[in-house]
Structure formats: structure tokens, C-alpha cells
Amino acid sequence: MNTQMKVKNPKTIAFILMFGAFLGLFGETALNMALTNIMEEFSVSPGIAQWLTTGYLLVLAILVPISASLMKWFTTRQLVIGGLVISLAGAVLAALSPSFAVLLLGRLVQAIGTGILIPVMTSVLLIIFPVHKRGVVMGIMGLVITLGPALGPTLSGVIISSLGWPYIFWISGILYVLLTLYAVAQMKNVSEITKPKIDVLSIILSTFGFGGLIFALSTMAEKAVSSPQVLVPLVIGIVALVLFGVRQMKMEQPMVNLRVFKYPMFTLGTLMMFLSILVILSTGILLPIYLKGALLLAAAVAGLLLLPGNAVNVIMSPIVGTLFDKLGARVLTITGSVIVLLGNLMFVTFISSTTPIWQIIVSFMVLFFGLTMVTIPSQTNALNQLPPNLYPDGSAAMNTLNQVAGAAGTAIAIAVFTAGQENFASVNPAATDPEVLAAGIKYAFYFITGISAVTLVCSFFVKKKVTVTKEASDNSGAVGSVNTESVK
């Protein structure tokens, strides 16, 4: 089944979308290396400072579910250019911020632009490239999705040491300007405008659902789980998400078509992506704090130490994409999950206030070697099972959960890290600050290692290859039967 839409310059369109998404995803973690600087400059605690990352991801989690509807109301060109302009406005606002509140506002505005670009990228790439090239294309897209957040601390570390943290946003702003001008000249429309009715109640339930859940998880870094500040938004979030799901299943034209989860390999692939992104973003916020606070390294040095792991990601992504087209998902995801677990076990074993730098570098390289083998096959295998009319819905559902995973991972990692510090300090009152911080980081990596173990279990249920044997879709969004037999 060839679902390709013929466009004159598919590679140009892909470049615009991927680079725009890369800038946005880079923004997710770009301030992680600057958190200690920002905490000192604006006199805020780690629990408050982490909202610069969690708040960004929270906006993505709220906005991405709406993306499927946006793609049916606005042209590809309008969404891409609009997303880039909004991202630019957020970057400029953050760069000029005189206070923490303004900086956070700039981050949230930038996240709105990213929340528009990411789902558009996924859906458009599935449309403009043929099935037999999808493994390679999704491999490159997987590189963008993982490299953006991973490179954030590395590049920003160099920028912070040489210029200062506001220049993270000034440099991003310049790139947004150039990319916007290129998009104005080159971007084409590939989506179909149907203008379905917008269900305001679904948007409200989605916003309160994802917002309440992530707000509760983030507040755990500062408040006890039993406190009203955690319990109230948590209950509101869970109830709203349940009501949102029930409403989507009953609607003729749902905001997010949850029927995509009737496809077992899509559901499994989305779950594995969720767990992998959780690991990536948790690690992305913990390691900069550890390298600067426990090993007492400068921001530039700490950032450069993460570069070899990012290099592994760059090298492996196209290779994994090609191997997927030849081998299928099962072998790659199982092997990758084992390596991810090994990488996290290395962190748990090595982390201390006196750890040799080379051990952190090797552990990070092993971790990303495995993550690349998990994320790309999981995402491609999942979306391959859907019929073309469900690509936007599948993309919206998967990207929403990816952002929730990132926000949840960041929030829980900081909460566990804080609890680990308090526990170690109470037992070892004479411990130095670096020792306390390293103990907290190690405590958090126990949580990340547990997530890796769950991912490995999931990988054993992955089929080698999935095919859609019947494409059927009516106005209600019902889907046809699927065949998920393994190819021997």
C-alpha cells in the first residue's frame, strides 16, 4: 500500500519541519545546564526552577492533543509558519526576561510554537514519503526527537560559559528567523482541510486532565504527596482524563481518535516511546545538576562530557532506521532495551561525589546507544500499523503521551532526587554538599532503572513486522481489522 502524496521537494519540506522541531525540542532541556545559575540569579529553589522544563512540557502535553483538529482547520503552511513565529516570540521574551516569571512566560510561549510543529512534522512525513523509505525517514525523525533534548545541555553549557544563559534564546531566535523566511519561500500544503466542529468541552477536559496530572507530579518536588497542593490537582487530572476518554469514544468526530489504541502494536509502540522519553528527559535534567553540583565542573565542561553520548545517537539513528527496514522491530527493541537497562545500572553503580569522569561518559554513551535502538523502531512500527486516515490521530496521541512522559519524567526525577538528598542528609549529617547531591542523583537513577526494566519486558511482546490488511474508516472513525502476525 503506497500512501505517498506527490510533492515537488519532499526533502525540503522534511528539512523545514525537522529543523523547526529540533529547535523546539532543544528548547525543552536547553536551560537544564543553566538551572543552577538561574536559581542563584532569581533566588528560586530547584523545585521552582524545574518548572522552566516541566512547564514547557506541560504546554506541549496540553496543546498536542489539539493538533489533530488544527491540521483539519489550517493548511500545513499556515501551521508551520505560525508555529515558527510563535516560537520566535517566546525566545525573544525569554531572552529579555527581567524576572523568573517573565522567563517562565517566554518558555511557555515558545512551547506553544513547538506544540504546533511536532505533530505536523510526524503526520506530513508519513504522507510525503513512500512506505519503503519510511524506516530511514522515521530514523532521521527519531534522531531529531531524541537529539534535540539530548543536545540541549551540551550546547547550552558552552553558551552559558562563554556568553551567558540569555544567549541560548538569542541564538535560537536567530535560527527561528532564518527558518521562518525559508519556510515562507518553500513550504507547501499537503494536508486536507475539512474544518470539523471544534468540541470546546474536549479541549477543557484535555487541558485540566493533562495539566492537573503534570502539575501534581511537579509539585511533589516541594510538597508531600498527601498535601492538598498535590492531591487536588492529581484527582482533578485523573477525573478529567477519564471523562475526556469517555467523551472521545462517543463522539462522531473526536478531538483525538482514541480508536488508534485498538491496534495492539500501535499501543505497545506508544507505551515504549513513553517510557523511553521518560528516561531521556529524566537523565537530561539530572546529569547537568550532578556534573555541576557534585563533580563541581564548569557548565562548558559538563556540557561537552555529554557530547559523546549525543554523537552515538547521531551515528546510530540512520543506521537503526535502515536496519528496521531489513530486520523489523523485534530484534532491535529487545537488544536496545537490554542495553538501556545496562546503561542505567552503570549509572547506579558509578555515581558518587568522586566518580571518574570517564565512567559517566561511557555510561551515557551506552544509554543512548540502546535508546536509539528502542525509540525509532517503536515509533515506526506503531505508526505503520495505522491506516493513512488515522496518521494525524495516531501522531497526536503518541506525541501527547511523549510530552506527558517528558514532563512526568522531569517532575518525578526532581521529586525523587530531592527526597534522596533529604534521606541521605538525615542519615549522614556530616556529609558534604556534593556528597548529598550525588546521593540524591543516585537515588533518582534507581527510579529510572526501574523504568528501563519495564521497557525491556514490553519489548518481548513486539512483533517483527506489522501490516494493515484492511483499510476501513467511516465518519465515526471506526477502523478495520488488522493483521499483526510476525514475519518469520
DSSP for 143-199 reads: HHHHHHHHHHHHHHHHHHHHT-THHHHHHHHHHHHHHHHHHHHH----S----PPP-
pLDDT in tens, 104-122: 999 999 989 988 888 788 7
pLDDT band at 343, cuts 50/70/90? Answer: very high
Domain 261-463 has CATH 3.40.50.300: no
In one letter, which amino acid is 74? F
Nearest-Å Rg of the Cα atoms of the chain is 21
Q: Residue ranges of the domains in the chain?
A: 1-188, 197-252, 261-463
Q: Which CATH architecture has domain 1-188?
A: Up-down Bundle (1.20)
In one letter, which amino acid is 260? V
Summarize the confidence of residues 432-455 as an average pLDDT. 93
Task: Please report the pLDDT score of residue 485 as a whole number.
Answer: 37
Summarize the confidence of residues 248-265 as an average pLDDT. 83
Which grid cell sits at 237? 487530572
Task: Please report the pLDDT score of residue 349 as a whole number.
Answer: 94
**Half-sphere exposure of residue 438, counting CA atoms within 13 Å on the CB side?**
20
Rounded Cα distance between 389 and 477, Å, is: 9
pLDDT band at 178, cuts 50/70/90? Answer: very high
Q: Which residues of 239-304 form beta strands (DSSP E)?
A: none
Ramachandran bin of 115, using left for φ above 0, alpha for ψ from -120 to 50, beta for the remaining angles: alpha
Instruction: State pTM to two decimals.
Output: 0.76
Nearest to 440 by CA among 289, 224, 284, 226: 289
Burial class of residue 471, CB neighbours in 10 A (0-12, 13-18, 19+): middle
Highest-pLDDT range among 3-7, 71-75, 287-291: 287-291
pLDDT in tens, 407-417: 778 778 888 88
In one letter, which amino acid is 15? F
- Does the pLDDT of residue 437 top 80, yes or no? yes
- Mean of the per-residue pLDDT values for the chain? 82
Task: Please report the pLDDT score of residue 365 as a whole number.
Answer: 94
Compute φ and ψ for 479, nearest 5 degrees: -115, 155
Task: Please report the pLDDT score of residue 476 as a whole number.
Answer: 36
Task: Please report the pLDDT score of residue 288 as a whole number.
Answer: 83
Run of H or E residues at 62: helix 51-73
Summarize the confidence of residues 288-293 as an average pLDDT. 86
Nearest to 145 by CA among 403, 363, 422: 403
Percent of the chain with pLDDT over 90: 28
Which of 164-177 are b and which e, b meaning 16 or more Cβ less than 10 Å from the residue's Cβ? ebbebbbbbbebbe
Summarize the confidence of residues 454-471 as an average pLDDT. 75
Judged by DSSP in three states, 283 sits in helix
Summarize the confidence of residues 302-319 as an average pLDDT. 82
Q: Does the fold of domain 261-463 match that of domain 1-188?
A: yes
